[in-house]
Structure 1
Amino acid sequence: MNVYKKIVEEILKASHIVITAHKSADGDSVGSSLGLLYFIEKLGKKAVVCHPDEAPDFLYWMDTSEILLMNQQPDKVKQKFEEADLIFSLDYNGTDRVGPEMQALLEAANCQKIMIDHHLNPEDFATIRVSETSVSSTAQLIGELILQSGHEDLLDEKIGTPLYLGILTDTGVFRFPSVDPRTHEVTAKLLAAGVQNHLVHEYLNDNNTASRLRLQGYALSEKMLILEDYRAAIIYLTKEELEKYNFKKGDTDSLANQALSIRGMKVAVMMSERDGIIKISFRSKGENNPVNVLAADHFDGGGHANAAGGMSNLSMDETLEKIKGLIPEYFSN
């Protein structure tokens, strides 16, 4: 029996299913969670999605109202974990990725746990683990769950749309090296099931606010430092600057990729001062420029070779100087 059929067996046996994903939601964590939820419902079972915090507002066109949030509804989330006889851990490789409050609930839960993830270095906390680090996205793995478990007939537009969203966003619109023929084969199955890909692109890309565009314009024109010798770009925004432009979660998500799009750039870093820390996004091009190593070594982070995240407890100026000093060490080739 393949692992995906085993997972469906566990779903059909369970009475109280909880679906979790990592803190600081993105398109893949939201898309894989909702796609799995709708698949479980098509199997005739009930489930609930519990996330640590809210999704950025550019994902609100999805029905994120179905997601219980640890930072807003802790009592409800706690109740769901206490009732759970099956917990899914989607798009994260360690229990600390869900934040300390949900981590405590997850580790205390005495039930079946299934990890479905594509990040490096997975921890051994799940009863069943699907860890495919070469796969483009967790949403693609949920697609594989449906296709390889023999339930392709259940795939429809409702299930397929969030999965398409997850694949689209985690592949950088199919530009990252993780995209392979199977990525397109799974995507083709989603389109055949009724997903309207043009609408997903519109919902993602045609929903800017004026303040978001002004913030991004300011960041690119005034707060971008280019290290020509190392083909690296750094954008850095303080708390005061974010507040000036009425920052909303998700407003800076594309800035690292925009900086990386400059001709000749091979590394881009985006830093923003939020919640008392400096949050850092790293992006790069090519197999010889893995940013996850830098993130793990110095910024309590990690991720994929060309897309990673981290954090710093230093000031913005100190963090900027630290990164400027590390780039020659990690990206001198």
Structure 2
Amino acid sequence: MNIYLKIAAEIKAANNIIITSHKSPDGDSVGSSLGLLHFIEKLGKTATVCHPDPAPKFLHWLDTSSFLVMTEQPEAVTKAFEAADLIFCLDYNASNRIGSEMQALLEAKDCKTIMIDHHLAPELPATLSVSETTASSTAELIVELIEESGHGDLLDQSIGTPLYLGILTDTGSFRFPSTTPRTHEVLAKLLASGVEQHLIHEALSDNNTATKLRLQGYAMSKKMEILEDYNVAIISLSKEELSEYQYQKGDTDNLANQALSIQGMKAAIVFTERDGIMKISFRSKGEENAVNILASEHFNGGGHANAAGGMSELGVEETMEKIRGLIPEYF
């Protein structure tokens, strides 16, 4: 029996299913969670999505009203975990990626767990695991779950739209090397199921606020430092600067990619001061410029070779100096 048939069998046997994903949700974590939720419902079962924090504003066009959020509904999330007899772990492969509160709930549970993820170096013990680092996204793996478990006929617009979103965002609109022939085959199946891709692109691209664009303009014009000897761009934004431009979650998500688009850039690093720490986004080009190692070795993070995240408990200037000092070692 293939792994996907086993997962489908576990869904059908379970009574209380919850779907979890990582902190700081993105298009793939939200899209894969919503797509899996609708698939489970099509199988005649019910499930609850439990996320550590709310979806960013640019994803509010999706219907995530049924999601339980730990930062907003801790009691409801706790009850859902206590009742669960099957837990899905989507788009993460280490329990510390879901925040300390949900991590404690997950690690205290003695029930079946299923991990579906595409990141490197899995650490999460699970009853069943799909850890496929060559996949473009977790959303791509959810499509494969539906197809390979013999339920491809259930694919429709409600399932396919969030899954298309997950693939779109995690591939940088199909720009990243993770986009393969396999990815386009999956996309073709989603389009055939009724997904209106032009509406998804419009929802993602045409939702800027004036303050978001002003913040990004300020970051690019005033706060970007280019280390010419190493072809690395660094952008830092303090909490005061974010406040001045009325920062909303998601407003800086594309800054690293914008900086990386400069001709000749090998890597771009953006860090913002939020929640008392520096949250860092790493982006790079080429196998020789992997940033996940830098993130894991020095900034308590990790991710993909060319797209990773991390954090620093140092101040803005101290973090900047630390990054400057490490650049010659890695680039």
Q: What interval of TM-score do these two structures reach, taking the shorter chain for normalisation?
A: over 0.9
Partners of 2:65 and 2:251 in 1: CA distance: 20
Pairs aligned (count): 331
Task: Provide the secondary structure at the position in 1 that maps to 2:288.
Answer: coil
What is the aligned-residue identity percentage? 71
- The answer for the alignment partner of 1:84 in structure 2 is 84
Letter matched to residue 62 of structure 1: L
In the TM superposition, what whole-angstrom CA distance separates every residue of 1:18-39 from its partner, at most 9, and x where no partner exists?
0000011000000000000000
Q: 1:76 Cα shift?
A: 0.5
In the TM superposition, what whole-angstrom CA distance separates every residue of 1:178-203 from its partner, at most 9, and x where no partner exists?
11110000011000000000000000
Partners of 2:175 and 2:5 in 1: CA distance: 31
Q: 1:43 Cα shift?
A: 0.5
- The answer for the alignment partner of 1:5 in structure 2 is 5
- The answer for the alignment partner of 2:132 in structure 1 is 132
In the TM superposition, what whole-angstrom CA distance separates every residue of 1:131-190 from its partner, at most 9, and x where no partner exists?
001111000000100011110000000000000000000011111111111000001100
- The answer for the alignment partner of 2:113 in structure 1 is 113
- The answer for the alignment partner of 2:254 in structure 1 is 254
Partners of 2:263 and 2:173 in 1: CA distance: 19
Partners of 2:321 and 2:111 in 1: CA distance: 46
Paired residues for 1:173-322 under 5 Å: 173-322=173-322
Q: 1:124 Cα shift?
A: 3.9
Task: Provide the secondary structure at the position in 2 that maps to 1:256.
Answer: helix
In the TM superposition, what whole-angstrom CA distance separates every residue of 1:220-254 from its partner, at most 9, and x where no partner exists?
00000011111110011000000000000000000
Aligned CA RMSD, in angstroms, stands at 0.6
Partners of 1:303 and 1:29 in 2: CA distance: 14
Matched, 1:324 2:321: no
Partners of 2:290 and 2:109 in 1: CA distance: 35
Q: TM-score, normalised by structure 1?
A: 0.99
Q: TM-score, normalised by structure 2?
A: 0.99
In the TM superposition, what whole-angstrom CA distance separates every residue of 1:40-86 from its partner, at most 9, and x where no partner exists?
00001000000000111000000121110011101100001010010
Runs of 4+ in 1 over 3 A off after TM superposition: none
Q: 1:115 Cα shift?
A: 0.2
- The answer for the alignment partner of 2:34 in structure 1 is 34
Partners of 2:126 and 2:82 in 1: CA distance: 17
Task: Provide the secondary structure at the position in 2 that maps to 1:114.
Answer: strand
Task: Provide the secondary structure at the position in 1 that maps to 2:175.
Answer: coil
Partners of 1:218 and 1:97 in 2: CA distance: 31
Letter matched to residue 210 of structure 2: A
Partners of 1:172 and 1:61 in 2: CA distance: 19
Partners of 2:278 and 2:84 in 1: CA distance: 35
Letter matched to residue 63 of structure 1: D
